[in-house]
Structure 1
Amino acid sequence: MVTTTPSWIDLDGVANMRDLGGLPTGDGGAVRPSRLLRSDNLQDLTDEDIRLLVEDHGVTDIVDLRTDMELHITGPGPLQQVSTITHHHHSLFPAEQPISTKDALVLPWHGRKDEPRDDNPTASHYLSYLAERPDSVSAALDVIATSDGATLVHCAAGKDRTGTVVAMALSVAGVPREEIVADYVASTERSERIVQRLSAVPGYAENLEGVPLEAHHSRAETITRVLDAIDTDYGSVAGWLEANGWSADQVAALRAKLIG
């Protein structure tokens, strides 16, 4: 039974930010607050937003899962100017072609204008992150494990790429499956606000045009299928990490960082 509600962080410059602190673990513990935060893109943060993240939530590290193309479209966000924060860029899409002016508004998940578009990412889409960019997934989780303070993981909407990495981290921490799924699904509450933000940004706006809001919902069966597939192939998320070069001590460090 799900026992927690999302710990939303309502800032002026984001639509989908929350602290994973408070989620219970299977052994009676809980994820500690201000260890792992998740969000949509951070381009619109105000000075007060930044103060709250640094001073109240102790953010020291940002994991940005967006592509080079997305960074090219939006430019550097305001947190780039904060000297106490370290930024880590780990795209979950395959290595991209060099950016040109002609292609600057073509994002990797919708291809060219004359190609079919997938408006509803599926579990197989998420699993492609693990198959095609295990280096980035592993590196993102390593940042969470080793950061001095809180790690804030984000992508564009804060639900698909971010949802995959966060679900894996919570699994290692021992959070029960139903709680992980509930956290993933919680982004649906913010779908309208997420779409409104992205619809004002070139590149994203074209991709969102004509797509029904329901297509942006985070469905329980999607992340469930991803975690089930990892369990089937590797026994657990910890098993996936060890298959990708992690030691047992590194896995233990990730769990300890989140619940220690």
Structure 2
Amino acid sequence: MTLDPHVPHEALLLEDVRVTFGHVTALDGLSLTAASGAITAVLGPNGAGKTTMMRCCTSLVSPDSGHISVLGQAPGSPEAVAATGLMPQSAGAWSGIRAGELLHYMAGLHANPIDPDLLIDALAITPFARTTYRRLSGGQQQAVNLAAALVGRPRLVFLDEPTSGMDPHARHHTWDIVEHMRHDGVSVVLTTHNMDEAQQLADHVWIVDRGRVATHGTVPELTAESSLEDVFLTHTSDRAAGRN
């Protein structure tokens, strides 16, 4: 395979990123990478800094120091914004709009969107497309959040707890969608508390704790002698550190 010289080998690069909120240190010298065209999982307990990391990468939070490269560009640059998608844990600002209307609106924000009706069908949103976002179940909201993240045809997509609240059928269907994204060359960075999800999907796993990397590797490397959950428990704290 010939590599496109215009596509960086690393879809995402963080070097010594530090973020503080008052007296709380959210990221404490976090350094990690995500390969282009791969699924990268970032695991960690509540408060480890996972969501803050994603917010930095999508320019929702400005780090105090360190360097971040998103598809070879600075976070928040027009090039990075146009080429990335974000699936948040929650999207309360959308509460009053119907699911289908929301996705058609989001499609209109992009130059070359995926037909939102195709996403509505692919993600099984049709039965609740006319329901307002606030009246959807947690799993249904997650399906809409995922569709909104994908509608702009991103080259890099951030998925924050993508299957939280989903039943097993919906979860496995979402896994299929994520694997199809990788097949299409989309780079995926996801956070999850589901060890099975990380083991099923990830090409590379980073385990973070207290705002920095505790260990990382491929799933076979990390699980050569114990389960992924055991590795997680060994390398992370069981105390909530107050970081998101």
Q: Identify the structure with the greater helix proportion.
A: 1
* TM-score, shorter chain, exceeding 0.5: no
TM-score, normalised by the number of residues in structure 2: 0.31
TM-score, normalised by the number of residues in structure 1: 0.30
